[in-house]
């Protein structure tokens, strides 16, 4: 390996990092290895990762089973185009996903990222109605505080008043935002919205149970079930964005299972490969796929990423599914949930903490500040590193989403760091 000073000092002036004001942000931390739940930095320090690299590394880093699967695949077939050709890892993975998902969600379209998986779902939904002779049904309903991606079509489904999406107001497709129907009045309003606009609505998109990057806002299974029922009553497709919630994070393999909901289309990514390689999937029910079967070539789904169904990524995803079959991952999530609930509870009494909430292997503390004030995110992140943990607060949120293999002692280190930092912050308010 080249000397750290060579690749670090030589490379830093040429990168552009995400969600980062490059003029004022502190220098990023150089990671040289990742094993289990620990990141080792170039200077020898180790950090316990409490957020699973944006919620992907559900089995921890460098899991030997996933690594071996990728190495074996690399020796035979790293990649081949997925148009007119297929390969074993993708076909096995598609069949396994169809067997795992509820109902008849059984037609899998592979992409490389969550945002693109949602874009494909939107294409499917809009073209579904066109193919069925109802081209006016092309608008999408989304929910306040939602986040569904960073590409232009997906930004149009995010809360326009939050985050970066406000910067692009007026440049994105005009969609319809609703409130999550969490009480009787909001349910009546949501039903009326769908009934009023049904002739032009293609789909409703929802992040089941937890709105992740929108602030870890949570709703119950009854709310999700009502959304699904309202879509069915009003002849509108339901898209479930399970990019963050899928693969055990909320306590079920897929969050929609908790409400016995079978969406028309589901989007998957993040933990699909155990955090090893980029891969996403948009999976449709039988009736959605059937609408694209025709003698007319124009009725086909016109989308095709160059690296879709990459063989290495599919091999990693199959190995990840092996681990869900062989290891007690959902039981581990239940244990994490109980420990997070107990160890984060004292934060509720701290000044500057507006709420503490959790679901499955997700624990979140929502911060408050004085009117006109700001939360020092860089300072919080720096302090967490000093305490030996890697957390990345955003907006008003400090949160934990550790790998499922985190030990009770490691999780206590994470929660203790959160309590310490929030207690220190409370003393300054």
Reported pTM = 0.96
pLDDT band at 107 (very low <50, low <70, confident <90, very high): very high
Per-residue pLDDT at 76 exceeds 90: yes
Q: pLDDT tens digit string along 227-272?
A: 999 999 999 999 999 999 999 999 999 999 999 999 999 999 999 9
CA angle at residue 407 from 405 to 409, to 5 degrees? 160
Mean pLDDT score of the chain: 96
Q: What is the DSSP letter of 36?
A: B
> Tokens in use for 42?
């170039």
Per-residue pLDDT at 339 exceeds 80: yes
| CA–CA dist 336, 341 (Å, integer) | 8
Which strand (E) or helix (H) includes residue 315?
helix 311-326
Q: What angle do helix axes 221-233 and 184-197 make, rounded to 10 degrees?
A: 30
Residue at token pair 């160890």: 343
pLDDT band at 83 (very low <50, low <70, confident <90, very high): very high
| CA–CA dist 361, 338 (Å, integer) | 9
For residue 232, what pLDDT is reported?
A: 98
- pLDDT, greater one: 161 or 75: 75
pLDDT band at 164 (very low <50, low <70, confident <90, very high): low
Domains and CATH numbers, the chain: 4-59+328-426 (3.90.1150.10), 65-326 (3.40.640.10)
Q: Which long-range contacts (CB under 8 A, 24 or more apart) does 304-307 make?
A: 304/82, 304/83, 305/110, 305/111, 305/112, 305/116, 306/81, 307/79, 307/112, 307/278
> Tokens in use for 339?
């420990």
Q: pLDDT tens digit string along 360-396?
A: 999 999 999 877 788 999 999 999 999 999 999 999 9
3-state secondary structure of 41: strand
Per-residue pLDDT at 167 exceeds 90: no
Q: pLDDT tens digit string along 298-313?
A: 999 999 999 999 999 9
pLDDT band at 166 (very low <50, low <70, confident <90, very high): confident
134 contact partners, CB below 8 Å, separation of at least 6: none
For residue 216, what pLDDT is reported?
A: 96
Backbone angles phi, psi at 212, to 5 degrees: -65, -85
What are the helix (H) ranges across 132-257?
A: 152-155, 184-197, 221-233
For residue 4, what pLDDT is reported?
A: 66
pLDDT band at 162 (very low <50, low <70, confident <90, very high): low
For residue 254, what pLDDT is reported?
A: 98
For residue 132, what pLDDT is reported?
A: 97
Q: What is the DSSP letter of 348?
A: G
| CA–CA dist 148, 142 (Å, integer) | 9
Which strand (E) or helix (H) includes residue 357?
strand 353-358
Please list the active-site residues.
19, 147, 241, 270
How are beta strands 105-111 and 280-285 bridged, if at all? antiparallel
| CA–CA dist 111, 114 (Å, integer) | 8
């Amino acid at each position: 390996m080249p000397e750290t000073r060579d690749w670090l000092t030589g490379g830093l002036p040429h990168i552009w990092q995400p969600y980062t004001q490059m003029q004022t942000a502190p220098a990023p931390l150089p990671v040289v290895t990742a094993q289990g739940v620990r990141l080792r930095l170039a200077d020898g320090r180790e950090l316990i990762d409490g957020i699973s690299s944006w919620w992907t590394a559900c089995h921890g880093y460098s899991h030997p089973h996933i690594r071996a699967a990728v190495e074996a695949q690399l020796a035979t077939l790293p990649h081949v185009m997925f148009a007119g050709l297929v390969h074993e890892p993708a076909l096995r993975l598609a069949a396994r996903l169809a067997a795992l998902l509820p109902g008849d969600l059984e037609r899998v379209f592979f992409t490389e990222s969550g945002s693109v998986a949602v874009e494909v779902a939107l294409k499917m939904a809009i073209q579904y109605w066109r193919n069925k002779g109802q081209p006016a049904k092309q608008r999408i309903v989304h929910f306040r505080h939602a986040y569904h991606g960073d590409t232009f079509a997906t930004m149009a489904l995010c809360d326009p008043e939050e985050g970066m999406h406000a910067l692009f107001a007026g440049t994105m497709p005009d969609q319809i935002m609703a409130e999550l129907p969490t009480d009787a009045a909001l349910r009546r309003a949501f039903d009326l919205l769908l009934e009023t606009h049904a002739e032009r609505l293609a789909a409703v998109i929802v992040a089941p149970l937890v709105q992740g990057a929108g602030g870890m806002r949570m709703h119950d299974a009854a709310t999700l079930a009502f959304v699904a029922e309202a879509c069915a009553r009003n002849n509108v497709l339901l898209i479930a964005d399970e990019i963050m919630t899928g693969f055990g994070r909320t306590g079920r393999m897929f969050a929609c299972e908790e409400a016995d909901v079978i969406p028309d289309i589901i989007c998957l990514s993040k933990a699909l490969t155990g955090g090893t390689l980029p891969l996403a999937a948009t999976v449709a029910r039988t009736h959605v796929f059937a609408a694209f079967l025709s003698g007319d070539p124009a009725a086909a789904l016109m989308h095709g990423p160059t690296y879709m169904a990459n063989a290495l990524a599919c091999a990693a995803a199959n190995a990840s599914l092996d681990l869900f079959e062989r290891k007690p991952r959902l039981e581990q999530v239940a244990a994490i949930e109980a420990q997070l609930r107990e160890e984060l509870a004292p934060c509720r009494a701290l000044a500057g903490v507006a709420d503490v909430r959790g679901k499955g292997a997700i624990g979140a503390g929502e911060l408050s500040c004085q009117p006109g004030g700001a939360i020092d995110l860089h300072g919080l992140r720096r302090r967490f590193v000093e305490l030996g943990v890697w957390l990345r607060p955003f907006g008003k949120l400090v949160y934990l989403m550790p790998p499922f293999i985190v030990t009770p002692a490691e999780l206590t280190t994470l929660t203790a760091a959160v309590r310490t930092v929030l207690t220190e912050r409370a003393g300054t308010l």
